[in-house]
Amino acid sequence: MEIISDSGAMQEQARAWRTEGRTIAFVPTMGYFHQGHLSLMRYGREQGRRLVVSLFVNPAQFGPSEDLDRYPRDLERDAGLAAAEGVDVLFTPTAGDMYPSGYQTYVEVGELSRGLCGASRPGHFRGVATVVLKLFNLAAPDVAVFGEKDYQQLRVIQQMAADLNLPVRVVGRPIVREPDGLALSSRNTYLSIEERRAALSLIQGLNAAAARAAGGERRAEALLGAARAVITASPLVRLDYLELADPDTLKPVERLQGAARLLTAAWVGATRLIDNILIEGD
């Protein structure tokens, strides 16, 4: 595995592969790898593609009071894990390379960016869309792999790719969870033992709603009420949002008809966690 930190060198490598007729899979990350990241790499690796993984804690997607400075980092460990997954290039650009002085171009994906995490984190998806478009231009992937863990992010990137005619297929992959159900996240390392226990209420709440839906409940308000009661039961948890949304548009739905996505974000102590599940209607 090669580690490339220069954006020009990354672009040259991708161009050379393409000239040889290779297909390229790409997994953008912020590092501190866990099994969720590795599952995306394994998917990308399939069918003999070249595999590029980027590791970049993107300043443009963090708000001024967010955890950019204390976001967990361990390049040596990440490089070992990526190499073991058969990654060809670990791309580790610097912030100065990605956003040199005088940088002034940003990508805004409209409505999909506004609700949910976009409402709680103004400018977040503008930063995400911008960096992902830049990374696509550097890694030149045929396929880009994202986790459904960040479901709104996945939809925002798919919309950007469609709207801007990007020659890349944006694939979403299922959430990888701990045995007890907690969605893996680099931010789980922030949690104390008590917070880790309380954090389980996110998936338990989502599952409570899914159980009501399986029992025939179709009213969004009843499903949301079932989830809310579980999520907010712990005094360590403060709900940010909980919504039942159309899986494509992410607009709230009032009645479950086809499939919908139930999405939540909550503060567990000082850590903001997100999770979501698919809820099947009729």
Q: What are phi and psi of 43, to 5 degrees?
A: -65, -45
Q: Which of 78-86, 147-155, 221-229, 262-270 is the region at the interface with ligand AMP (rule: CB under 6 A)? A: 147-155
Window 54-83: residues binding ligand AMP (CB under 6 A): none
Binding mask 93-112 for ligand AMP (x = CB under 6 A): --------------------
Residue type at position 203: I
Nearest alpha-carbon partner for 41 in 143, 158, 127, 149? 143
Q: Which of 8-16, 31-39, 195-203, 263-271 is the region at the interface with ligand AMP (rule: CB under 6 A)? A: 31-39
- Do the Cβ atoms of 138 and 39 come closer than 8 Å? no
Window 211-250: residues binding ligand AMP (CB under 6 A): none
Give the count of residues interacting with ligand AMP (CB under 6 A).
16
- Do the Cβ atoms of 131 and 107 come closer than 8 Å? no
Q: Residues 37, 45, 155, 196: which is the catalytic one? A: 37
Window 185-204: residues binding ligand AMP (CB under 6 A): 185-186
Gap between the Cα atoms of 143 and 93, Å rounded: 20
* Tokens standing for residue 269: 């102590």
- For ligand AMP, which is the closer residue by CB, 142 or 217? 142
CB of 32 to ligand AMP, least distance (A): 7
> Catalytic: 37?
yes
CB of 41 to ligand AMP, least distance (A): 9
Of positions 17, 25, 37, 244, contacts ligand AMP by CB under 6 A: 37
Distances (CA, A) of 251 to 46, 161, 224: 34, 20, 15
Q: Which of 115-123, 143-151, 199-207, 244-252 is the region at the interface with ligand AMP (rule: CB under 6 A)? A: 143-151
CB of 149 to ligand AMP, least distance (A): 4
Residue 267: CB atoms within 10 Å: 15
In the 8-state DSSP scheme, what is residue 45?
H
Q: Which of 28-36, 42-50, 84-92, 107-115 is the region at the interface with ligand AMP (rule: CB under 6 A)? A: 28-36
In the 8-state DSSP scheme, what is residue 55?
E
Question: CA quadruple 150, 151, 157, 161: dihedral positive or negative?
Answer: positive
- If one asks whether residue 40 binds ligand AMP (CB under 6 A), the answer comes out as yes
Q: Which residue has the tokens 């992902």?
A: 132
- DSSP conformation letters of 74-141: -HHHHHHHHHHTT-SEEE---HHHHS-TT--------GGGTSHHHHHSTTHHHHHHHHHHHHHHHH--
Of positions 49, 50, 149, 196, contacts ligand AMP by CB under 6 A: 149
- If one asks whether residue 184 binds ligand AMP (CB under 6 A), the answer comes out as yes
- For ligand AMP, which is the closer residue by CB, 73 or 255? 73
Just list the catalytic residues.
37
Using CB under 6 A, list all residues that contact ligand AMP.
Answer: 29-30, 36-37, 39-40, 146-147, 149-150, 175-176, 183-186
